[in-house]
Amino acid sequence: MPQQPPVRSTGSLPPRPDASMSLLTNVMDHALDDGYAEATARRAEKGAGLPRPLRAKLGLAAGLVLAAFVVTLGAAQARMSAPVVAKEREELIGRIDAETRTADGLATDVERLRTEVGERQREALRDHGGDQGDLVELLSGATEVTGPGVKLVVDDAKETNQGGDGPRDSDGFADTGRVRDRDMQRVVNGLWESGAEAIAINGQRLTALSAIRAAGDAILVDNKPLVPPYTVLAVGDGKKLSTAFQDSADGQYLHALQENFGIRTGISDQNALRLPAAPSLIVRTAEPTTAGPGKGDGQGTADTGKGTS
């Protein structure tokens, strides 16, 4: 059997089995990139002389210094503007006080002039009223009145009805439990007709020329607003006046408002009432153009007719 010739050694190592996968081998042998390693080494060298807690404290201190600077700057600006604001405030207060004093002075002048006008009107009534001067003053509301009478209180229903149908909705109002100007007109006219000599509503004296009107939900007497409950004081023969009013058509009307819409009412006899004089009067006089039988004598008289519109 022939023998194989021996293999001669050439002096070089045999190739690696993975020689054809050099790129993959390099990645496996060098898992950490050299650049990242160098950067990590540099950061370690720089921070070696300064511990991390100290760096955090220095950062916090810098933040506090910055915040203190901002607060100090704001306080300084506020301190600089404070005198200006205080001066403007003082000037505004001074203007308000001055205007208030002016308004108070004008109100005092108005009251003085109103009193003076009232006195002159009363003098005119006494001078031209003749034998009927006292009666003219009484009917025109020029003097206060004391005596027996009745006290009538009219108030809205406790729970007013919103909406609903009924005769009180015909004028566009939906609240059927609210006292209206026409209700008070009927009450006052009913008291006049029943024998009242003088009437006041919530301290507002009525005269022959007084008007009861409405402005929204408010009731006005001579352009002065009233608030419920409406207290009507009428001087006259108390029991007779009370009975006559409740039996009248206007008294029955008020009773119907109570029964149908819950409007609260109450009437009582009073032994002593005091009604103030009217705050302002309008004195009207007339003189006949010709004299003759049945004509006036030319003496001026005040308008003393009763009734409230």
Q: Among 40-54, 59-73, 263-277, where is mean pLDDT lowest?
A: 40-54
Judgement on whether residues 111 and 157 belong to the same structural domain of the protein: no
Beta pairing, strands 145-155 & 264-275? antiparallel
Instruction: Please return the burial class of 225, using the count of CB atoms within 10 Å of its CB with bins 0-12, 13-18 and 19+.
Output: exposed
pLDDT value, residue 252: 94
Judgement on whether residues 106 and 180 belong to the same structural domain of the protein: no
Judgement on whether residues 151 and 271 belong to the same structural domain of the protein: yes
Q: For residue range 111-144, what is the model confidence (pLDDT) as tens digits?
A: 888 778 777 777 776 676 666 666 667 767 777 8
pLDDT value, residue 300: 39
Residue 171 or 250, more confident: 250
Q: For residue range 53-67, what is the model confidence (pLDDT) as tens digits?
A: 766 777 778 888 888
DSSP string, 34-65: HHHHHHHHHHHHHGGGS-HHHHHHHHHHHHHH
Which range in 40-54, 115-129, 220-234, 270-284 is most confidently predicted, on average pLDDT?
220-234
Judgement on whether residues 61 and 161 belong to the same structural domain of the protein: no
Domains in the chain, number? 2
Bridge partners (DSSP) of residue 193 are: none
Q: Are 150 and 241 in contact (CB under 8 A)?
A: yes
Residue 274 or 62, more confident: 274
Last residue of a domain, one of 117, 136, 159: 117
Judgement on whether residues 112 and 152 belong to the same structural domain of the protein: no
The boundaries of the domain holding residue 88 are: 44-117
- How high does pLDDT run on average in the chain? 76
Judgement on whether residues 98 and 183 belong to the same structural domain of the protein: no
Residue 198 in domain:
yes
Judgement on whether residues 100 and 173 belong to the same structural domain of the protein: no
Judgement on whether residues 154 and 255 belong to the same structural domain of the protein: yes
What average pLDDT does range 92-110 have in this prediction?
A: 91
pLDDT value, residue 243: 93
Residue 227 in domain:
yes
How far apart CA 122 and CA 126 sit, in angstroms, is 6
Last residue of a domain, one of 102, 117, 132: 117
Residue 259 or 87, more confident: 259
Prediction pTM value: 0.53
Judgement on whether residues 167 and 269 belong to the same structural domain of the protein: yes
Q: How many angstroms separate the most distant Cα atoms in the chain? A: 190
